Amino acid sequence: MSDCPIKTLDGRQYYCTMELTLQIVGGKWKPIILYYLGNKGTLRFSELKRSMPSITQKMLTQQLRELEADELIHREVYPQVPPKVEYSLTDLGQSIIPLLRQLCEWGSMFESRKLETLSKEDAA
């Protein structure tokens, strides 16, 4: 039995705030989308797609919609032909960027250690 009671927020059920956090920004693509918007600023759909060549257009659209619904990104549509749409971080979205940068630094450290280990194994 959990020490925390089940909670519900915006249709999401969770026991602790870590679970809620991972529901909002977890997965393969959301952290990467947020990271690119945090580092590069406002981007168009095609620029995001180009930055992540292995994401499908459908998946990128879905992830952007979810991030917008959770108020982490802002979608600006310009009334012109052809339509122009830009994505940027909201203040709430900006607030997670330091954490994503720390995760990236951790990944670099992990990569270095693994490469060092592999190098030692190859030398032996």
**Could you tell me if residue 27 is inside a domain?**
yes
Q: Structural domain tally of the chain?
A: 1
The answer to whether residue 1 is domain-embedded is: no
Task: Please determine, for residue 3, whether its predicted confidence score (pLDDT) is greater than 80.
Answer: no
Whole domain around residue 60: which residue ranges? 7-123
Indicate the SS3 state at residue 113: helix
Identify the CATH number of the domain in which residue 29 sits: 1.10.10.10
pTM, full prediction = 0.87
C-alpha 31: how far from chain center: 2
Report the mean per-residue pLDDT for the chain: 93
Q: Is residue 89 part of a domain?
A: yes
* Mean pLDDT, residues 6-30 taken together: 92
Read off the pLDDT of residues 34-46 as tens digits, 9 standing for 90 and up.
999 999 999 999 9
Question: What pLDDT, in 10s, does the model give residues 76-109?
Answer: 999 998 889 999 999 999 999 999 999 999 999 9
pLDDT at 16 over 80: yes
CA angle 108, 34, 28 (to 5 degrees): 70
pLDDT at 1: 44
φ, ψ of residue 101 in degrees (nearest 5)? -65, -40
In a domain, 2, yes or no: no
Residue 39, domain member (yes or no): yes
